[in-house]
């Protein structure tokens, strides 16, 4: 459970760390296509060199590629809606579901549904109660229909008995310690 929480926190932090940088769709020399952030571009002694970070926030550690910039073919800049769809699909691939704007592991959702079923909660919403009319008529109940009230002794008898015992104990202890003649 602790490790699962740590993974979720790391994934959440990784997801929100790189959202402000523009992503670019590029092709690599081996034929793969990916969305990346340009990390570093340098020209050193007549050769071009670049380093890119893959935009995969569901991974716990970022992946990098570095090589010649001429080997990387820039296809297009990724739109924000396309990025959101790609990231949602990536999270689903690794076993997460988005509920109310938060990504939660599918196993947690399954456990929650199982717990609800075991507790006997219905998945369907409860029926709406009929509204009470604005002017409700309150009828006075006749005194005969009320249950009989208990008597004074039934209500206060136990209290009186406890106070009597306490007074008796206090009297015996005072007489034993203070009113007995000394030797």
pLDDT digits (tens, 9 = 90+) for 1-16: 555 555 555 555 555 4
CA of 105: how far to CAs of 9, 27, 80, 97, 111, in Å?
A: 12, 31, 24, 6, 10
Q: Where on the phi/psi map is residue 138: left (φ > 0), alpha (ψ -120 to 50), or beta?
A: beta
Answer yes or no: is pLDDT of 20 > 90. no
Q: What is the pTM of this model?
A: 0.45
C-alpha span between 21 and 110 (Å, rounded): 34
End-to-end CA distance of the chain: 73
Q: Is the pLDDT of residue 104 over 80?
A: yes
Q: What angle is formed at CA 68 by the lines to CA 15 and CA 44, rounded to 5 degrees?
A: 110
Q: What is the mean pLDDT of residues 134-138?
A: 60
What pLDDT score does 18 carry? 46
| pLDDT surpassing 70 at residue 142 | no
Question: What are the extents of the domains in the chain?
Answer: 2-119, 152-183
How far from 64 is each of 30, 37, 114, 170, CA to CA, in Å?
15, 9, 40, 85
Is residue 134 predicted with pLDDT exceeding 80?
Answer: no
Using 50, 70 and 90 to split pLDDT, how confident is the model at 17?
very low
Q: Are 26 and 52 in contact (CB under 8 A)?
A: yes
- What is the tens place of the pLDDT at every residue in 75-84? 777 778 888 8
- Cα separation of 97 and 110, whole Å? 11
Cβ pair 24, 36 in contact under 8 A: yes
């Amino acid at each position: 459970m602790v490790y699962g929480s740590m993974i979720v926190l790391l994934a959440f932090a990784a997801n929100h760390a790189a959202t402000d940088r523009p992503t670019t769709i590029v092709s690599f020399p081996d034929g793969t296509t990916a969305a990346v952030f340009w990390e570093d571009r340098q020209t050193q002694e007549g050769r071009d060199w670049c380093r890119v970070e893959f935009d995969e926030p569901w991974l716990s550690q970022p992946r990098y590629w570095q090589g010649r910039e001429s080997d990387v073919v820039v296809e297009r800049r990724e739109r924000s809606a396309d990025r959101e769809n790609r990231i949602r699909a990536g999270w689903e691939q690794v076993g997460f579901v988005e509920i109310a704007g938060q990504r939660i592991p599918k196993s947690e959702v399954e456990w929650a549904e199982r717990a609800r079923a075991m507790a006997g909660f219905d998945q369907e919403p409860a029926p709406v109660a009929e509204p009470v009319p604005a002017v409700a008529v309150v009828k006075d109940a006749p005194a005969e229909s009320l249950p009989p009230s208990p008597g004074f002794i039934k209500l206060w008898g136990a209290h009186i008995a406890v106070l009597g015992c306490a007074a008796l104990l206090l009297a015996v202890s005072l007489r034993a310690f203070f009113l007995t003649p000394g030797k």
